[in-house]
């Protein structure tokens, strides 16, 4: 069964734009996964994605399998892979957050790690709060629409 990532963890960037991967995040990923490598890339909704190697491979394979003859597939592949970096933690558990990903995510002094199933998302705390607040009231509607999309989801 695949690991599911959860929780929220606030960290400060240092002056070299490094952030400590929170202990709880590292525990959820597991030592083996961290040794295999961490990957950062552009996320959706103006955040950055952080994947352990196994999840990176699954998502990367899915995106790479899109038919490159279509413009949307090519652009998604270009944007997703060109912004990606391998980000192995140093002895203190820090990873460098590249300038481009910080800019895309609006991250300045603090980074909010949020568990999002197969990945952690790195957010500007203010940007995450605004997105969460704008959609929190739709939680039940979002859950119902997801359930109805699954095969057999609407049957009672």
pLDDT reported for residue 153: 55
| SS3 label, residue 12 | strand
In a domain, 152, yes or no: no
CATH number, domain containing residue 48? 3.40.1550.20
The whole-angstrom separation of Cα 105 and Cα 110 is 11
The parent domain of residue 26 ranges over 8-125
The whole-angstrom separation of Cα 91 and Cα 23 is 13
In a domain, 1, yes or no: no
pLDDT reported for residue 147: 81
Given a contact cutoff of 8 angstroms between Cβ atoms, the answer to whether 134 and 127 are in contact is no
In a domain, 143, yes or no: no
Distance of CA 60 to the CA centre of its chain: 13
pLDDT reported for residue 45: 97
In a domain, 132, yes or no: no
Max Cα distance, the chain (Å)? 56
Q: Exposed, middle or buried: residue 38 (CB in 10 Å: 0-12, 13-18, 19+)?
A: buried
| SS3 label, residue 51 | strand
Domains of the chain: total: 1
Residue by residue, pLDDT tens for the chain (156 residues) are 567 999 999 999 999 999 999 999 999 999 898 889 999 999 999 999 999 999 999 999 999 999 999 999 999 999 999 999 999 999 999 999 999 999 999 999 999 999 999 999 999 999 999 999 999 999 999 888 888 866 665 544
In a domain, 155, yes or no: no
pLDDT reported for residue 2: 66
pLDDT reported for residue 151: 67
| SS3 label, residue 42 | strand
């Amino acid at each position: 069964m695949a690991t599911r990532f959860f929780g929220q963890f606030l960290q400060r960037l240092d002056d070299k734009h490094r952030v400590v991967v929170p202990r709880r995040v590292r525990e959820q990923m597991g030592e083996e996964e961290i040794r295999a490598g961490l990957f950062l890339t552009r996320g959706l909704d103006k955040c950055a994605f952080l994947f352990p190697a196994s999840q990176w491979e699954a998502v990367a394979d899915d995106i790479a399998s899109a038919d490159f003859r279509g413009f949307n597939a090519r652009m998604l592949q270009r944007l997703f892979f060109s912004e990606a970096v391998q980000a192995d933690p140093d002895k203190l558990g820090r990873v460098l957050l590249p300038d481009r990903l910080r800019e895309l995510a609006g991250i300045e002094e603090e980074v909010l790690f949020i568990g999002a199933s197969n990945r952690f998302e790195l957010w500007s705390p203010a940007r995450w709060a605004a997105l969460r607040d704008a959609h929190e009231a739709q939680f039940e509607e979002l859950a119902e629409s997801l359930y109805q999309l699954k095969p057999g989801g609407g049957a009672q």
